[in-house]
Each structure stands twice: as C-alpha cells, then as structure tokens.
C-alpha cells in the first residue's frame, strides 16, 4: 500500500457505517438506546466527523484524536458486551429506569447482538488508525 491515507479513509468509512447503523436503529426502527449504548454513540458519532476531516486533510493529529475516541468507545463497548454475556454482575449495571443495558432484545446477522457489533466497529477503527499511525511515524 503506497498511500497511508487510504487507512484513514477505511477508518472513516467504518465509523460512518456504524454511525448510520445506530441512527437507523434509533430513528427508523424506533429502538430506544440504553445508557451504555448512548455512551458508545457519544464516542462513535464525533469519531466519524474527526476521521472524515483527518482523511480529507491527511492529518496525523486527527488520527491520534480518533484513536483516543475509538479506545474509549471500545472500552465502553467491551464492558457492555461483558454485561450482556453475564460476565459482569448485574449489580454493576449503570442503567436505572428505562431500557436495560443487560437485556438486549435485538439480534441481527443471525444472533449477533448490537454491543458486539459496536465493539467490532471500535476495534476495526482502532486497527486502521494504528496501521496509519505506524506508516506515518515521523
């Protein structure tokens, strides 16, 4: 690969697809997100914007900021996945009244739950960004 900015474009496309997927679930399908889903959105939505600008300008600093957002969102997604899988005790659930963080009702792609897709998206973005940062090390 001769152009490292392609890695930024791939990270941006991943974040944009995840953002559009979350908006589709909430706005079109009418699913109310739980507290942990909101936190994951808080990290993913600006990630799509930051990475879009970084890809447009081939900006290394934008990739560094994006990596921080992806890492933080990935940690929230990992916690959510462990909660849904039953590894984390339900006493540690940050959700109060409203939609439960531990009881995910929606399975897509033949049984894959939304928190796992979120974790996969954050991980993919982080991998693309780490590869970009490694290729552009100064």
pLDDT digits (tens, 9 = 90+) for 34-86: 888 889 999 999 999 999 999 999 889 999 999 999 999 999 999 988 988 88
- Residues 81 and 116 sit within 8 Å (Cβ to Cβ): yes
Helical packing angle, 60-85 and 114-135, nearest 10°: 150
CA distance readout (Å), 83 to 34, 88, 107, 121, 123: 13, 5, 16, 18, 18
pLDDT digit string (tens) for 5-26?
Answer: 899 999 999 999 999 999 998 8
Q: What is the DSSP string of 15-84?
A: HHHHHHHHHIIIIIS-PPP-HHHHHHHHHHHHHHHHHHHHHHHT-HHHHHHHHHHHHHHHHHHHHHHHHH
Q: What percent of the chain has pLDDT over 70?
A: 85
Q: Is residue 106 over pLDDT 80?
A: no
Tell me the pTM.
Answer: 0.89
pLDDT-above-90 percentage for the chain? 56
Task: Read off the tokens for 46.
Answer: 């600006």
């Amino acid at each position: 690969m001769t152009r490292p900015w392609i890695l930024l474009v791939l990270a941006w496309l991943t974040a944009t697809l995840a953002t559009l997927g979350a908006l589709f679930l909430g706005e079109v399908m009418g699913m109310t997100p739980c507290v942990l889903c909101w936190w994951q959105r808080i990290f993913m939505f600006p990630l799509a914007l930051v990475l879009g600008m970084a890809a447009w300008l081939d900006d290394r600093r934008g990739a560094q900021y994006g990596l921080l957002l992806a890492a933080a969102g990935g940690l929230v997604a990992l916690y959510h996945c462990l909660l849904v899988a039953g590894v984390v005790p339900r006493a540690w659930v940050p959700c109060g009244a409203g939609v439960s963080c531990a009881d995910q009702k929606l399975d897509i792609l033949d049984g894959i739950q939304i928190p796992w897709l979120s974790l996969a998206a954050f991980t993919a973005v982080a991998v693309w960004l780490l590869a970009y940062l490694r290729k552009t090390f100064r």
